[in-house]
Amino acid sequence: MSKHTIVVCDHIHECGLDILKTTEDVNYIYAADIDKTELLDVIKNAEVAITRSSTDVDEKFLSAAVNLKAIIRAGVGYDNVDMEGCSKRGIIAMNVPTANTIAAVELTMTHILSCMRKLPYAHNQLKEQRIWKREDWYGQELFGKKLGVIGFGNIGHRVALRAKSFEMDVVAYDPYIASTKATDLDIEYTKNFEDILACDIITIHTPKNKETINIIGEEEIAKMKDGVILINCARGGLYNEAALYNNLKSGKIGMAGIDVFISEPATSNPLLDLDNITVTAHLGANTKESQRKIAQQAAENAIEAARGIAFPNALNLPIDESKIPSFVKPYIELTQKMAFLSAQIDKSVIRSLCISAEGEIGDYLDSLSTFACLGALSVACGDEINYVNANFLAEEKGITISNETYSNQGGYKNKVTVKLTTDNGIHTISGTIFNEDVQRIVAINGYEFDIEPKGNMILIRNSDVPGVIGEVGQILGDSNINISDFRLSRKKDSALAVILVDETVNTNLLEKLNNIEAANTVAYAEI
């Protein structure tokens, strides 16, 4: 079995290293402790590299990494990654943006509470100065205050929910979401930024781009309430730091809670001279739990990228993810996986690929098609195909790509179906997303399921007669193959079983399963 080389360039939590060490088709190289010049020699054979802030993915790095097809930035920020250089070389750059979600949410709430009660200063007076003066520390309650949340994604909406538990009034501003995402949570939604400026406390949770840099400046602060509290645990520069300093000093801004700065480390930042600000040194992801999640997701994403299955959270794709609603992103990955599964079920010549959608996701079919095309062709094309050339290769091979939209015909708000036509027949796989990011396959060739698209899958279509499950279990048991999940769907006189197993499956075992008298077709796929 050929192995994929994955190099870990910086320190990540041990749980991520354990995943790489125990994955059979991965040649794992730990290079976090070597000199960065020496790393240039190690990186030559890497297909995927996992980095953090200590490794600059610059021209030297990229020139040395001649076999590289993906970079995983184990964290959110990617300022040290030459994105243009990666794109020119066809290298997919990815980050791990959601692993620190809860940590960032809870740090935001910490800053809000610290600002309201001036906790760091009260702490310092008692502990460092040994002064007991309760009368110096009259704070404010969150109860009944209005919180303005700028950006209502993974972090923003969770901050809003926690604020609701303090019985605050919450108003959300995010032009890229459906208003129902807020209103369904009993949270006010506004398209008028002035509504945010009228709040008692304002917190921001947006990416850093042309639209959001300096989104709060002198003009906006002038419209705010006297004594307003501003919180930023997202990105440095979203609040204009000069305006923030001037208005904290004048008292227009009562308190600010800041975790991020334009230039870091921010040990000389003038904001630190003020006595009405709580500051932390970019600690949004600094919990033990989030570091475990970051390492785990980075390792899992690196393996998927090395295998060419999927590139979660890719940053240099042919679509601008900042311009599409957050609910679309999980469907992009799911669609690619379903197409990849279809092509493994039937490895004959592909004639056409049709992507259909029900619900709002139908507005983004063009984006989904690119990823479906990549998934379907990667079985045959391997490393030749990427996001840039997928549609070109499909056209070159005479494969027809089409899209269709339908009104909702079932119980799903959104559903995507991949229909793959080959020389051997037609295969359709449908999927949806639950709870924002939980991927599920809900139908395969007309058989209804509820399956996570992940792992080693054996698919057996058979006549619906007694004894088949027992025979399958006996064969797998005799081959020392452990079943992690077994899903069965029945239709008329036939059934389709999808069996998830812990080990890879060889052709000899598939032949044994195919020899079961009631078996009609047997297929194997790895996702």
Residues noted as catalytic: 235, 264, 282
Note whether 471 and 499 are within 8 A (CB): no
Note whether 454 and 469 are within 8 A (CB): no
Length of the chain: 527
| Cα→Cα distances 444→406, 419, 426, 432, Å | 18, 10, 11, 13
Q: What single-letter DSSP state applies at residue 278?
A: E
Whole-number Å distance between alpha carbons of 331 and 359? 12
253: β partners? 228
Note whether 418 and 491 are within 8 A (CB): no
Dihedral (C-alpha) 193, 198, 203, 208: value to the nearest 10 degrees? 30
- The answer for 511, left when phi > 0, alpha when psi is -120 to 50, beta otherwise, is alpha
Spell out the alpha helix ranges (H) of 9-82. Answer: 14-21, 36-42, 59-64
From the number of C-beta atoms within 10 Å of its C-beta (0-12, 13-18, 19+), residue 37 rates as exposed
What are the tokens at 234? 């997202």
Sheet holding 415-422, edge to edge: 400-406, 350-358, 415-422, 425-434, 438-444, 447-451
Whole-number Å distance between alpha carbons of 416 and 435? 16
Q: What single-letter DSSP state applies at residue 20?
A: H
